[in-house]
Amino acid sequence: MNKNEKWTGTIIYGKEYKVHQNKELYFDLDLIRDNEKITGTAIDIGGEGASPDPATIKGTIVGEKISFIKQYASLHSYNIKGETTIDKSRKGPEINYTGIYDENEKRYNGHWKMTVTFKILWLIPLNLSASGTWTMKRKIN
């Protein structure tokens, strides 16, 4: 049985983001839940580093635990000057989200992490990781 769910949430950037550390990004999430599997679309609605592109969601909800991968249609990042750059020829990296449902707060709380690979001088791969925290709760219409 498929069940459509609407959520709203916030991510908080971790220490790897330096001047952007602790800044927030807000998103809405439309999920289709089929037993333990979830799929859907996330849209950034404001805050630091909001992407103009939607992101796909694929994962699971098992009991109180949620785990999903979020991936944007385009690669967006900060350049050396701290400006946002968008490369529509490449998909964004997979962002791994894990969390636990808090019955008292009626929301998920968790951590996210992603690894991006860059090539130095077009030859030498360099992996950079970034992480942070996130929350989301059911959207009330």
Q: Flag whether pLDDT at 96 surpasses 80.
A: yes
Dihedral-angle region of residue 106 (phi above 0 means left; psi in -120 to 50 means alpha; beta otherwise) = left
Structural domain containing residue 29 = 2-138
d(CA 31, CA 109): 17
Residue with tokens 């992101």: 55
Q: Give the CATH number, domain containing residue 69.
A: 2.40.128.30
Query: According to the model, what pLDDT value does residue 80 have?
Result: 62
Q: What is the pLDDT of residues 17-35, one digit of tens each?
A: 888 899 999 999 999 999 9
Q: How many domains, in total, are found in the chain?
A: 1
Mean pLDDT of 89-107: 95
3-state secondary structure of 17: helix
Q: Flag whether pLDDT at 135 surpasses 80.
A: yes
